[in-house]
Structure 1
Amino acid sequence: MKKIITICLLTAGFYACNSGTNDQAKTEAPTADSKVTAKADPTDTPEFHKGMDLVNNNDCKTCHKIDERLIGPAFRDIANKYPNNAATLDTLAHKIINGGQGNWGSIPMAAHPNLSVEDAAAMAKYVLLLKNN
């Protein structure tokens, strides 16, 4: 009986030691030859930070939050509604400068005539980069 238990324990020990070798191959870091495509983090870009700084230093957060409606729509809802392209950036930049009404309800968006088109576009780009993927 002792021999059977000893053999079982030794067999289990050998099995346990050898079973990890295949798992190591699966968890090793990729080599230079392997193709790994990681999606770039849009929040880790200079344009994102520039737009975020402009939004934070203006009155945007009086009416908007990132993930929930306040007086105006949530920034993420805006990002999910519009495509991130040059035409949208131009349209949103001019809405930021001139104000607007009707796209998100009856409450008008205040005009920001002191902003440059470049700064308004940077703010719009920031908002569009908040899109859920």
Structure 2
Amino acid sequence: MKIAKKVNLGLLALAAITFACGGGEKASSSSETAEAAAPAPAKEVSLEEKYANDPIYIKGLEKVKGSDCTSCHMVERKIVGPSYAEVAAKYESTEENVAMLAQKVIQGGVGVWGEVPMPAHPGLSEEDAKDMVRYVLLLKK
């Protein structure tokens, strides 16, 4: 019994010395160093915050919400047609692309994004279609 007490006391002393010498801190200090070295993740800003004062965003969003676009398109996820983010990634925001895409919105089409046709929107004015396209192209990441 005396030997067991001495062994337990020795193990306890060894553990105390190891911890006191920093043996127990290496894992946490390396993770703290890694956390300190890594940049803090950027706060994700919502589109509403990012474009709160942008007249192109405000006007285009209003027109998109007032149309049937959202039945086939979402900002970041494909439903029937491509997401707005996919369209923005494919096309630069130039006046030529805005005019071309506005005509596609008005006339409809098929083949660019698959075999599901986009219906024509002949009642939509060219200026409204351009406002909507400019809004979509703002969503480039």
Structure 2 unaligned regions, length at least 5: 1-49
Q: TM-score, normalised to structure 2's length?
A: 0.63
Native 8 Å contact 1:64 1:73 kept in 2: yes
Moved segments of 4+, more than 6 Å: none
CA shift, 1:98, in A, is 0.4
The corresponding residue for 1:102 is: 111
Q: Which residue identity is paired with 2:75?
A: I
Change over 3 Å in CA distance of 1:109–1:89 after alignment to 2: same
Aligned length: 92
For 2:72 and 2:125, locate their aligned partners in 1 and report how far apart those are by CA, in whole Å: 20
Larger Rg: 2
Q: The residue matched to 1:44 in structure 2 has which SS?
A: coil
Q: Which residue identity is paired with 1:55?
A: V
1:19-38 paired onto structure 2 within 5 Å: none
Native 8 Å contact 1:66 1:74 kept in 2: yes
Asked if 1:52 is matched to 2:66, the reply is no
Structure 1 unaligned regions, length at least 5: 1-40
Q: The residue matched to 1:69 in structure 2 has which SS?
A: coil
Q: 1:130 aligns with which of 115, 129, 139?
A: 139
The corresponding residue for 1:65 is: 74
- With 44-53 and 66-75 compared, the bigger mean Cα shift is at 44-53
Q: 2:91 aligns with which of 65, 82, 86?
A: 82
For 2:135 and 2:100, locate their aligned partners in 1 and report how far apart those are by CA, in whole Å: 14
Using CA pairs under 8 Å that are at least 6 residues apart, name the structure with larger relative contact order, 1 or 2: 1
Change over 3 Å in CA distance of 1:42–1:85 after alignment to 2: farther
For 2:52 and 2:103, locate their aligned partners in 1 and report how far apart those are by CA, in whole Å: 23
Change over 3 Å in CA distance of 1:125–1:43 after alignment to 2: farther
- Between the two proteins, what is the percent identity of the paired residues? 42
